[in-house]
């Protein structure tokens, strides 16, 4: 008798598990979660591409990075804090020759008119980490960019490199140096 009750309970539990799995599978399908191969897309929109070209033309002494993850700009030990920025992307990052960030540039369009609070929160997040944030509603002209990014002493030959206090452009690059030979660090260590 006990064996019969045990088998009935086991069959009921198995039926419940199978029904739950079928329900989950059906729900995934109904939400359009069918797997499809990823598709290629443009790295930059036409507007962003025009801005990138304007930046590189206007600021020839700078390195321009596009579509930079906030995770490359910010770090935090707390998972909750990391979650506040881990999926955000900066439109452009302007760096000097030694790849020190000069500013983060956001190129707004009409969709940003309804996102003023969200944009302000993003700007505050970056500014609190010490970044200069510049927002442009339209692609600025060359003169505007050169006013916003005057040639600084740190970009001139003979200025001190912020990383190792060597004069910029005067020290040879050693292929075994830590910058060139750095091994990839595990993600957890980088976030610390």
CA distance 148 to 105: 11
**Do 52 and 92 touch, CB atoms closer than 8 A?**
yes
Q: How many CB atoms lie within 10 A of CB 102?
A: 20
What the chain holds in terms of domains, given with CATH numbers, is: 46-145 (3.40.1350)
Q: Could you report the per-residue pLDDT of 67-96, keeping only the tens digit for each? A: 999 989 998 888 888 888 888 999 999 999
Question: What are the beta bridge partners of residue 64?
Answer: 94
Q: Each residue's pLDDT tens digit in the chain (192 positions)?
A: 778 887 888 888 988 988 888 877 666 565 556 788 999 999 999 999 999 999 999 999 999 999 999 989 998 888 888 888 888 999 999 999 999 999 999 998 766 566 778 889 899 999 999 999 999 999 999 999 999 998 754 443 443 444 444 444 434 444 444 444 444 444 444 444
CA distance 177 to 175: 6
**Rg value, the chain, Cα:** 26
User: Where does 55-174 show beta strands of DSSP type E?
Assistant: 63-69, 89-95, 101-107, 133-136
Does the pTM surpass 0.75? The reply is no
**Do 123 and 85 touch, CB atoms closer than 8 A?**
no
Q: How many CB atoms lie within 10 A of CB 54?
A: 19
- Please name which of 124, 71, 133, 138 lies closest in space to residue 105, comparing C-alpha atoms: 133
């Amino acid at each position: 008798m006990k064996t019969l009750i045990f088998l009935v309970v086991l069959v009921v539990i198995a039926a419940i598990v199978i029904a739950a799995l079928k329900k989950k599978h059906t729900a995934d399908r109904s939400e359009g979660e069918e797997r499809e191969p990823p598709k290629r897309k443009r790295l930059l929109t036409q507007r962003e591409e025009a801005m990138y070209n304007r930046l590189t033309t206007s600021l020839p002494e700078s390195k321009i990075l596009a579509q930079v993850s906030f995770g490359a700009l910010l770090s935090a030990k707390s998972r909750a804090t990391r979650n506040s920025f881990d999926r955000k992307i900066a439109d452009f990052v302007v760096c000097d020759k030694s790849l020190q960030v000069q500013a983060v540039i956001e190129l707004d369009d009409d969709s940003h008119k309804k996102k003023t609070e969200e944009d302000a929160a993003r700007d505050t997040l970056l500014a609190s980490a010490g970044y200069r944030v510049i927002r442009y509603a339209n692609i600025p002209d060359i003169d505007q960019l050169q006013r916003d990014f005057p040639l600084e002493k740190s970009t001139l030959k003979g200025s001190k490199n912020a990383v190792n206090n060597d004069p910029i452009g005067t020290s040879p690059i050693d292929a075994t140096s830590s910058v060139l030979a750095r091994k990839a660090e595990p993600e957890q260590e980088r976030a610390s």
